[in-house]
Chain A
Amino acid sequence: MSNAPPLLAARGLRFARNEQPVFGPLAFSVDAGEALLVQGDNGAGKTTLLRVLAGLLRADEGTIEIDGRPAAPGLRARAIAYLGHLPALKADLTALENLHFLCGLHGRRKGQLPEHALAIVGLAGYEDTLARQLSAGQKKRLSLARLWLAPAPLWLLDEPYANLDLEGINLVNRMVQAHLREGGAALLTTHGAYAAPPVRTRMLQLERAA
């Protein structure tokens, strides 16, 4: 754990929308085996920060490094798995078909099967259920299964606890814990009301820009 570059490092990261500052300048880093909890009120820029890190938005200033190298699109795509507000599920496909497609798109972690991932997130028995018939919480669980299958070491989770019951919140924490134990890292946004995963956690508090 000594001299290895952090899995993700940001320096002087700043983002403005229509000349209105959203956040920054921010500097932080996340090592393998660590979680970074991004906290802040509604509108503080948590989602925007994650979208910038994922590469969906471009930062106005600052650098992002992954594994000590500048975050080029190809490197980002291999290193980052992003769970956003939109579930990216097709309503007319079954749970299993959705997973198969997303695995084809993002690749799959060695030794992991979509069927097993469904069982892990508590959706065993729902393999052939159309996504449109799943509840919001179950859709979230399906997205978590997709994340579990992704080969990327860095998870960007935008409000992973939203829509989930207590057992689901524990599930997210268990998944993050297991992922970190395997040398991954995770960024989680939350507005603070939920229990954080019992892992080595750093905090990043976002304030609403004046």
Chain B
Amino acid sequence: MMASAARALIARDARLLWRRRGDALQPALFALLVVVLFALALGGEARALERVAAPVLWLASLLAGLLALDTLFRGDAEDGSLEQWMLAPVPLSWLVLVRTFMHWATTALPLLIATPVLGELLHLPRAQLPVLVGSLALGTPLLSLLGAVVAALTVGMRRSGILVALLALPLYVPVLVFGAGSVAVAAQGLDATAPLLLLGAGLVLALVLAPLAAAAAIRIALT
């Protein structure tokens, strides 16, 4: 039952994404824009770019995810889909988790795949690439899960606008610090295992707790 509901939801979101592929591309394009503008602003100077490459890529991923956050549950709340989710014989938190996974797969995953190319653009030292990709692979799902809680909290409001960003940023800061920090540690030739493990621990914790919190917030918002 849970598997078939997840399959149905993934198929639905994939179809919706394809029908509105212009909208779906927006977060990725936005991230690309941030990266390119940074490269231009720093004058393409290799030494300056090297230093900021990893933080800029981290920030671009974070902002791209933030941009798409408001649409996570809003459409489903407006057309009544969330009501049917609440009445379904599968836990709401499970559907929230699947939906959040799709959000991550469509906003963060394309950037994760493009990271080596974008890294070249920013003169990212090759030695830092594995740590950067690793930290993004652990950190971006964590951002999506934290974002899901915030999106669920604001789903009852007609327009949440900047509120989503204001609520999400304090939660995002530690992730950004450890994510970008892991690459900085690696750049100094030190072992980056500790910050990566912390990100992993945060991800495991969020995987369990965030869907429950988001589901509770949706129930409150819709009643």
Q: Hey, which bits of chain A sit against chain B, CB under 8 A? A: 54-58, 74, 76-78, 80, 82, 84-93, 97, 100-107
Contact between A104 and B8, CB atoms less than 8 A apart: yes
A107 contact set on B, CB distance < 8 A = 1, 4, 89
Contact between A106 and B15, CB atoms less than 8 A apart: no
CB-nearest residue of chain B relative to A77? B89
A89 contact set on B, CB distance < 8 A = 79
State the CA gap A107–B20 with chains docked (Å): 27
Contact between B89 and A106, CB atoms less than 8 A apart: yes
Which one of B20, B83, B89, B223 lies within 8 Å of A84 (CB-CB)? B83
Which one of A58, A74, A86, A101 lies within 8 Å of B11 (CB-CB)? A101
Contact between A101 and B79, CB atoms less than 8 A apart: no
Shortest Cβ gap from B139 to chain A (Å): 31
Given known A-B contacts A84-B83, A86-B79, A105 and B88 have beta carbons under 8 A apart = yes
Contact between B80 and A84, CB atoms less than 8 A apart: yes
State the CA gap A36–B89 with chains docked (Å): 24
A87 contact set on B, CB distance < 8 A = 79-80
B84 within 8 A of A: yes
A82 contact set on B, CB distance < 8 A = 83-84, 87
State the CA gap A187–B1 with chains docked (Å): 27
Query: Could you say which interface size class chain B belongs to?
Result: 20 to 34
CB proximity to A under 8 Å, residues B1-51: 1, 4-5, 7-9, 11-12, 15-16, 19-20
Q: List 7 A-B contacts (CB under 8 A).
A: A55-B86, A82-B84, A88-B83, A90-B81, A93-B12, A97-B15, A101-B12
Contact between B89 and A57, CB atoms less than 8 A apart: no
Contact between A56 and B86, CB atoms less than 8 A apart: yes
Given known A-B contacts A87-B79, A87-B80, A56 and B87 have beta carbons under 8 A apart = yes
State the CA gap A100–B85 with chains docked (Å): 14
Contact between A103 and B8, CB atoms less than 8 A apart: yes
Contact between A77 and B223, CB atoms less than 8 A apart: no
Shortest Cβ gap from A150 to chain B (Å): 10
Contact between A88 and B80, CB atoms less than 8 A apart: yes
Which one of A76, A100, A106 lies within 8 Å of B84 (CB-CB)? A106
B87 contact set on A, CB distance < 8 A = 54-56, 76-77, 80, 82, 106
Contact between B80 and A105, CB atoms less than 8 A apart: no
Contact between B89 and A78, CB atoms less than 8 A apart: yes
A106 contact set on B, CB distance < 8 A = 84, 87-89
Contact between B90 and A90, CB atoms less than 8 A apart: no
Which one of B20, B90, B95 lies within 8 Å of A92 (CB-CB)? B20
State the CA gap A172–B80 with chains docked (Å): 21
Which one of B1, B9, B16, B83 lies within 8 Å of A86 (CB-CB)? B83
State the CA gap A70–B90 with chains docked (Å): 19
Contact between B222 and A93, CB atoms less than 8 A apart: no
Which one of B8, B79, B88 lies within 8 Å of A77 (CB-CB)? B88
Contact between B84 and A90, CB atoms less than 8 A apart: no
Contact between A92 and B79, CB atoms less than 8 A apart: no
Given known A-B contacts A93-B15, A105-B90, A56 and B9 have beta carbons under 8 A apart = no
State the CA gap A100–B9 with chains docked (Å): 10
Contact between A101 and B9, CB atoms less than 8 A apart: yes
B12 contact set on A, CB distance < 8 A = 90, 93, 97, 101
Shortest Cβ gap from B98 to chain A (Å): 11
State the CA gap A97–B15 with chains docked (Å): 9
Shortest Cβ gap from A200 to chain B (Å): 26
